[in-house]
Amino acid sequence: MRTFLISAAVVGVITTAPAAGQPLNISASAAVMWLDLAPGGGDARLLNEPSSSLGSIYHPAVVVVWRGEPGWAFRERRSANEAFFSGANDFFRSAERTTSIRMEAGGVRLEIAHDSTTGEVLVNGVPVQLPDGHNVILVDDADAGGPPSDVQTLRVAGEDGEWIEAFLGRSEAVTEFVRCGAPLPEGTFEGDGRARRSIQRILDERCALLTGS
């Protein structure tokens, strides 16, 4: 398993995943991952995102936002000073037909796969039908266990190379879905207030990018 630890500095941006050393979450309740679907679409990526941003997005793309109870993605840690997400060593894979990304947050598997031939999208192995032009998938009750059952799709207009937060922030449905107003619970990180405040600060900055505030 590959583990990414929270750090004060951004190490760099990796295709379709957050800056190394940062959590997947955009708020205390919601985690975000995405696949750039154009071949080589992210190769010219500019490393000019705000340090707190999850990264840049290039189109066409498919974005999945997973929502659960506040703090769900931070339930499993290896020490009192670590918050992490992890995935298999081949967490990003691109074959002739299928591109996929797989991570884990709070003990919950998060996986997106896209078949370029059929256009089919799988979220945690479950097919999701995307109406023409739809590119964002909202998955509720992500921490409930089992395959996703409460799924919505929508279309958000985007620009190449923009921050993922700016992209998602164009949709009122997304900004409401991520629940930026809900903070991390006091008991997050086993009551380690310093760790909770540090991660909450990152999430507040991402929410500010999302809402333009």
100-146 pLDDT tens trace: 998 888 889 899 999 988 889 999 999 999 999 999 999 999 999 88
pTM: 0.83
pLDDT of residue 175 exceeding 50, the answer is yes
Question: What ranges in the chain are assigned the alpha helix state H?
Answer: 164-168, 172-177, 193-211
pLDDT of residue 167 exceeding 90, the answer is yes
Residue 208 DSSP label? H
- Res. 37 pLDDT band, cuts 50 70 90: confident
pLDDT of residue 40 exceeding 90, the answer is no
- Res. 82 pLDDT band, cuts 50 70 90: very low
**Across residues 21-38, what is the average pLDDT?**
88
How far apart (Å, rounded) are the C-alpha atoms in residues 68 and 185? 13
Please give the residue that has the higher pLDDT: either 85 or 195: 195
Compute the chain's Rg from CA coordinates: 16
**Across residues 79-102, what is the average pLDDT?**
61
- Res. 97 pLDDT band, cuts 50 70 90: confident
Please give the residue that has the higher pLDDT: either 171 or 13: 171
How far apart (Å, rounded) are the C-alpha atoms in residues 23 and 112? 17
- Res. 48 pLDDT band, cuts 50 70 90: low
134-164 pLDDT tens trace: 999 999 999 998 889 899 999 999 999 899 9
Q: Report the largest interatomic distance among the alpha carbons of the chain, rounded to a whole angstrom.
A: 48
Residue 25 DSSP label? B
pLDDT of residue 69 exceeding 60, the answer is yes
Please count the CA atoms within 13 angstroms of the CA of 168 that sit on its side-chain side.
35
Supply the mean pLDDT for the chain. 81
